[in-house]
Amino acid sequence: MNSFETVKRYKNLSESPVSLLDRTYEMIENDDLNDYITLTKNIAYEEAYKSEKRYKEGNPLSELDGVLFSIKDNIAVENIRMTCGSKILSDFISPYNATAVERIMKKGGIIVGKTNMDEFAMGSSNETSYFGPVKNPKNKDYVPGGSSGGSAASVASGHACISIGSDTGGSIRQPASFCGCVGFKPTYGTISRYGLTAFSSSLDTVGIASNCVADSKLAFEAVRGRDEHDSTIEDKKNDKRNYKKIGYISVIKHMDGPVREVYEKRISQLSDAFVLEEVAMDFIDVSISTYQIQTMCESSSNLARFDGIKYGLQPKEGKTLRKIYSAVRGEGFGSEVKRRILIGTYFLTERDGEYYELSFKLRDYIANQIDLLFTKVDAIVLPTSLTLPFRFDEKTTSPLQMHLSDSLTAFANLSNVPAISLNGGYIDNLPCGIQLVAKRNDDDNLLEFASTAEEIWSKNE
């Protein structure tokens, strides 16, 4: 499902937003993917009837009018439950819309529901959700990736056309790789984070999952731009230009053979249209450690607001604040969230926060190395993940192995550059993503390059 085919059917009246919504909800109920936590049927049908009327009158609001969206459940939708995949927020109702949601709805987009996710976006497989794991629509025995696994699964299964998710270290790109769709993480500061529940504030980015690059472009244009609620928005644009020289890496540690096979095949297919140049990306080795320190420290601080006093899970016992906090967080947070809070607190307190301070020095080093690379090439192509999708419970007992899932994606968040994952093909019916990365604020040119790569690769299937 893509927006262009959908809107075309709306315009010739061969299908209506209401009938498509009927079929979509029926699919969701029958497919057993657990990709949604909450279905927003009331507001969806209300907007679908309005959209249908506009098409009959020949006055759609935009190219997204009547297009079905899913929203990751850490992004606020007014009067709808927002759980962040956690028990501690299992009954919380959002009092407002996130900026991204508000802008989608103003374009006529229809919100199908809130998608399942790793608890507070902490995970790479969608197995830490309080509401159970999401199943990969390509093979239900495998994970869909995380933390935006529900977003990617909803798009890949046809349960939505486009999904708005979040990406802190690869959380929209890695699930897109595992589910065989497109996952776009823009430059930090181009899409407002207002209404996005903070995990790691200096890295969190609102991202987009779709079935084609064109849909990511449409959604990006709809939600980007300045917002009075988010002071980090810059909305800088580079001059339009065509990429000519593309960098690639030949030595990637711990990469599975099938992933290398797909990667090398797709690189070679770009050689007729671009000049390829091998580059070194040694900073990848330190990026995952830097990412873990930063996110654990910032999540330790950000999640302190969930105390059972202001909102969320209420205490059943406790006569002192300390006992109330302990009871609420002990019951409300899952094991992965607790682990990261504890480690983050240690990093922040041990040696007066020396580890956290060091992580920023490493982050500056990574950003400087990326900037240097983009003086030599226009974009970089590399795999999205070291592995193909893995089976449930395969890595849950090894946090280190799970963290390696972000090895090839976290550097883009640390250096605040845009990146997009495209489906590179299938090995034994399992998808394999290829990631394209460009310099800071070059989002529009990156999307054009992604469209070209998508076209080249589709012709070589």
Instruction: Give the homologous superfamily in CATH for domain 1-461.
Output: Amidase signature (AS) domain (3.90.1300.10)
Closest CA to 428 of 383, 390, 371, 377: 390
Rounded distance between C-alpha atoms, residue 342 and residue 278, angstroms: 41
Average pLDDT value over all residues in the chain: 95
Catalytic-labelled residue, pool 129, 147, 287, 421:
147
Rounded distance between C-alpha atoms, residue 28 and residue 32, angstroms: 7
Q: Is 147 a catalytic residue?
A: yes
Q: Is 326 a catalytic residue?
A: no
The confidence score (pLDDT) of residue 403 equals 67
Catalytic-labelled residue, pool 51, 70, 72, 395:
72
Q: Record the pTM.
A: 0.96
pLDDT digits (tens, 9 = 90+) for 364-421: 999 999 999 999 999 999 999 999 999 999 887 767 677 677 899 999 999 999 999 9
Closest CA to 198 of 117, 298, 80, 331: 298
Catalytic-labelled residue, pool 171, 192, 300, 421:
171
On whether the CB atoms of residues 70 and 27 are closer than 8 A, the answer is: no
The confidence score (pLDDT) of residue 386 equals 94
Instruction: Using pLDDT thresholds of 50, 70 and 90, give the confidence band for residue 20.
Output: very high
What's the rounded mean pLDDT across residues 185-206? 97
pLDDT > 80? residue 159:
yes
Rounded distance between C-alpha atoms, residue 28 and residue 11, angstroms: 25
Structural domain boundaries in the chain: 1-461
The confidence score (pLDDT) of residue 179 equals 98
Q: Is 171 a catalytic residue?
A: yes
Per DSSP, the residues of 11-65 read HTTSS-HHHHHHHHHHHHHHH----EEEE-HHHHHHHHHHHHHHHHTT--SSTTT
pLDDT digits (tens, 9 = 90+) for 116-141: 999 999 999 999 999 999 999 999 99
The confidence score (pLDDT) of residue 206 equals 98
pLDDT digits (tens, 9 = 90+) for 218-259: 999 999 999 999 999 987 777 899 999 999 998 888 899 999
Q: Which residue has the tokens 């995970």?
A: 123
pLDDT digits (tens, 9 = 90+) for 221-230: 999 999 999 9
pLDDT digits (tens, 9 = 90+) for 338-359: 999 999 999 999 888 899 999 9
What's the rounded mean pLDDT across residues 166-193? 98
pLDDT digits (tens, 9 = 90+) for 446-460: 999 999 999 999 998
